[in-house]
């Protein structure tokens, strides 16, 4: 017999000039006992249903186009329905997840239709016996930002504007080096800025990450992106930095973050 855990959260939250009410999030996970043949597998299901009313909405049912979470006006809808499986052994690991909902419709609209329901699809190999060096390739969660697409993993179920304007996912290859229990470094080769299918011709997209666990519950992260999100004929090379600090206590926590970037056409921006 396996063990199962479940939790549910109901929120009523006001943000900006819209009202998010009665958002129901349910997450459950099932894990087989360690002596089972399925001990290396983990299966997670997640359902996020919401109602949003935007007092500044336009004549259609779409909320502002820069929003990818809870983006439908005045209707009860599915933001994210997810089934996700992970597999991990000493020398290999993998993950595969399928999703549906308005988040997937809005955030993956530029991808080929066959790939719009892919949440994650990656495989990884351990490159040294100590287990401190891993190479993962495929579609994976972005190294940029402190919030994910799964609301129950975040401090708040709704997202910051920072999260909505930086990648939720990436595709490519990621080399991760666990220097010590408190320090992790990563180097990435990516297909673009939140893209599964590559649109550039020859311009590489590179990234780095430094994750430092300063003490129990306290972390500092610095992530970078360098590359282009448009065909080489257009140009626009982009440099982007994301820094965040968090402290997560037993009953409450604090998160602080800042984004800073510039693009070849002269656009410079930052957010916090």
Q: Give tens-digit pLDDT for 114-172.
A: 999 999 999 999 998 877 999 999 999 999 999 999 988 888 877 888 888 899 999 99
- If residue 26 lies in a helix (H) or strand (E), which one and from where to where? strand 18-31
The residue ranges of every structural domain in the chain are 3-271
Whether residue 3 is predicted with pLDDT greater than 50 in this model: the reply is: no
Average pLDDT, the chain: 83
Q: Tell the residue number behind the tokens 């401190």, with chain if given.
A: 132
Domain 3-271 part of CATH 1.10.1060: no
Backbone angles phi, psi at 86, to 5 degrees: -125, 150
Mean pLDDT in residue range 163-185: 94
Question: What is the average per-residue pLDDT within 187-195?
Answer: 94
Give the pLDDT score at 111.
93
CA angle 228, 193, 253 (to 5 degrees): 135
Is residue 53 within 8 Å of residue 47, measured between CB atoms? no
Spatial separation of the C-alpha atoms in residues 22 and 244, rounded to whole Å: 30
pLDDT digits (tens, 9 = 90+) for 217-235: 899 999 999 998 887 777 7
**203 in Cβ contact with 237 (< 8 Å):** yes
Give exposure, 76-108, as e/b (b: 16+ Cβ within 10 Å): ebbbbbbebebeeeeeebbbbbebebbbbbbbb
The lowest-confidence range among 33-37, 57-61, 208-212 is: 33-37
Residue 216 — very low, low, confident or very high, per pLDDT cuts 50/70/90? confident
For residue 234, the model assigns a pLDDT of 76
The pLDDT score that the predictor gives to residue 270 is 56
Nearby residues of 270 by Cβ (< 8 Å), 6 or more positions away: 258, 259, 260, 261
Q: How much of the chain exceeds pLDDT 90, in percent? A: 54
pLDDT at residue number 10? 34
* pLDDT, average across residues 242-265: 91
Lowest mean pLDDT among 25-39, 67-81, 127-141, 177-191: 25-39
In the block, residue with structure tokens 């599915």: 78
pLDDT of the residue at 24: 37
Tell me, what's the pLDDT at 147? 93
99 within 8 A of 105, measured Cβ to Cβ: no
- What is the predicted pLDDT for the residue at 226? 95
The candidate with the shortest Cα–Cα distance to 73, out of 97, 95, 88, 51, is 51
Q: For 249-256, what is the mean pLDDT? A: 90
Render pLDDT for 9-32 as a digit per residue (tens, 0 to 9).
Answer: 333 333 333 333 333 333 444 444
pLDDT at 1 over 50: no
Please indicate whether residue 198 or residue 24 has the higher confidence score (pLDDT): 198
Closest CA to 50 of 90, 115, 95, 101: 101
Q: Which of 10-14, 50-54, 197-201 has the lowest mean pLDDT?
A: 10-14
Q: How many C-beta atoms lie closer than 10 Å to residue 27's C-beta? A: 19
């Amino acid at each position: 017999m396996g063990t199962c855990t479940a939790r549910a959260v109901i929120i009523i939250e006001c943000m900006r000039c819209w009202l998010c009410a009665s958002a129901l999030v349910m997450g459950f996970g099932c894990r087989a006992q360690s002596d089972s043949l399925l001990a290396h597998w983990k299966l997670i299901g997640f359902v996020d249903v919401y109602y949003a009313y935007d007092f500044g909405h336009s004549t259609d049912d779409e909320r502002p186009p820069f929003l990818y979470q809870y983006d439908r006006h005045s209707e009860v809808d599915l933001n994210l329905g997810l089934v996700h499986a992970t597999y991990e052994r000493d020398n290999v690991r993998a993950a595969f997840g399928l999703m549906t909902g308005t988040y997937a419709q809005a955030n993956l609209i530029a991808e080929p239709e066959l790939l719009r329901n892919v949440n994650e699809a990656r495989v990884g190999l351990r490159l040294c016996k100590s287990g401190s060096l891993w190479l993962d390739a495929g579609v994976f969660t972005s190294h940029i930002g402190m919030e994910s697409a799964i609301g129950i993993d975040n401090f708040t179920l709704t997202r910051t504007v920072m999260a909505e304007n930086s990648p939720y996912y990436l595709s490519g290859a990621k080399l991760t080096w666990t220097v010590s229990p408190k320090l992790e470094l990563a180097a990435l080769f990516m297909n673009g800025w939140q893209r599964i299918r590559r649109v550039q011709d020859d311009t590489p997209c590179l990234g780095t990450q430094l994750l430092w666990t300063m003490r129990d519950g306290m972390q500092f992260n610095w992530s970078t992106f360098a590359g282009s999100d448009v065909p080489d004929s257009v140009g626009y090379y982009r440099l982007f930095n994301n820094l965040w600090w968090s402290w997560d206590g037993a009953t409450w926590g604090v998160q602080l973050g800042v984004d800073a970037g510039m693009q070849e056409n002269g656009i410079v921006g930052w957010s916090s």
